[in-house]
Amino acid sequence: MDDHTPQPAAIELIALTKRYAQGSVAVDSIDLRIAPNSYCCLLGPSGCGKSTTLRMIAGHESTTSGDILLENRNITSLPAAARGTAMMFQSFALFPHLSALDNVAFSLKMKGVDRTTRLKQAQDLLERVAMGHLAQRKPGELSGGQQQRVALARALITQPRVLLLDEPLSALDPFLRIQMRAELRHWQKELGLTFIHVTHSQEEAMALADTMVVMNHGRIEQVGPPHTVYNRPASEFVARFMGGHNVLDTTDGKVAVRNDHIQLAPAHSGSGWLATISDVEYQGTYVLLGLKLNGTDDSVSVMLPEAAFVQQPYAPGDSVNLTWAPWQAHTFPPVLDTPVATAA
Ligand code: ADP
Ligand code: MG
């Protein structure tokens, strides 16, 4: 075997486009390669095309143009069941009247697999997600975490190569959501599958993803590991959407500066930007200050460690001087896409 042959992507999207009948473009010619055995999060604001992208990969939505490859196999026009993907839905969508075992075996029953074989396979999968001992319980008799494992086993019974998850955690309360995302990450590594997880929460994406794909208006704004996306946002949109950044208009053009990279000093102390504190929010380990830049309507946020705030307890109305190290001001790469001319 040739060692130089690159491993095929788990999923590759080539100029993938979806235009709905009303003429609006939901997904606008996106290209993406998702590495095998990785956790990929599609992230972006509501309506940016995440679910449409996922449904096209799943085969639940037709494509307008472009291609979808799974491990180099073109699956663009295959029926959902023949693709090698499986979908896990919001709130797990288990059948309440069926046991965990019957929930997991359900899709094999639909395929006409005999009872003994399907129950054996379902039991094996439940063992694999550490739920074998609770196989006879109904969803209502299981905790949220246990239900999620049943839902995972149910999605895995078709032996998918890629698991697709559309906002699987968004209906859960905050505590359970954090617990469940740790579980999802654990199972992705344990099972050695590729997960593609849609979320509008940048915090969730950063916690889970090997690769984050930030989308806006049907296009991909940036692809990369969370650390890179957070520290080197490719555009003003990404900097603002990820949060924790200020986008400032400087003589060098627009720059992003993290709110924990801005220093405050008394207003008379030097050559920084003058600002006035408008609000002070205590957050536990840090204090978040809201400021207005003098002579403008622009707002800036600064995150101060609690200890620094105790030393210098700023209050609304205080005038301050803002500075940051030059290397912490991040400029955006030029936008290469030329806008498409709109002919009348
Ligand atoms: P997201 O999951 O990122 O919130 P969607 O992929 O659901 O976004 O939607 C992307 C865009 O496509 C939105 O503008 C939405 O209104 C539109 N859209 C989604 N589904 C349909 C549909 N079935 N018919 C027409 N437009 C749709
Ligand atoms: Mg959606």
The mean pLDDT of the chain is 92
Complete domains list, the chain, with CATH: 11-231 (3.40.50.300), 246-331 (2.40.50.140)
Atom of ligand 1 nearest to the CA of 22: 25
Closest by alpha carbon to 41, among 155, 194, 169, 208? 208
Q: Which of the ligands is closest to the CA of residue 215?
A: 1
Which pLDDT score, from 0 to 100, does residue 341 have?
46
The pick from 17, 20, 27, 165 for probing ligand 1's pocket by mutation, whose C-beta has the most ligand atoms within 8 angstroms, reads 20
Residue 92: how many CB atoms within 10 A of its CB? 22
Which pLDDT score, from 0 to 100, does residue 116 have?
96
Closest by alpha carbon to 314, among 323, 325, 305? 305
Q: Are strands 65-70 and 263-266 parallel, antiparallel or unpaired?
A: unpaired
Considering Cα of 156, then 162, then 166, then 170, what sign does the dihedral take? positive
Instruction: Give the distance (Å) from ligand 1 centre to CA of residue 262.
Output: 38
Residue 143: how many CB atoms within 10 A of its CB? 11
Kindly state the average pLDDT of the residues 143-158.
89
The model's pTM is 0.90
Please tell me what DSSP assigns to residue 7. P
For residue range 16-25, list pLDDT tens digits in order: 999 998 778 9
Kindly state the average pLDDT of the residues 293-321.
94
Identify the residues whose C-beta falls under 6 Å from ligand 1.
20, 22, 24, 26, 44, 46-52
Q: Which of the ligands is closest to the CA of residue 19?
A: 1
Residue 237: how many CB atoms within 10 A of its CB? 20
Q: Is 90 exceeded by the pLDDT of residue 168?
A: no
Q: Ligand 2 being an ion, which residues bring their Cβ within 5 A of it?
A: 51
For residue range 178-207, list pLDDT tens digits in order: 988 998 999 899 989 999 999 999 999 999
Kindly state the average pLDDT of the residues 44-56.
97
Instruction: Give the distance (Å) from ligand 1 centre to CA of residue 51.
Output: 7
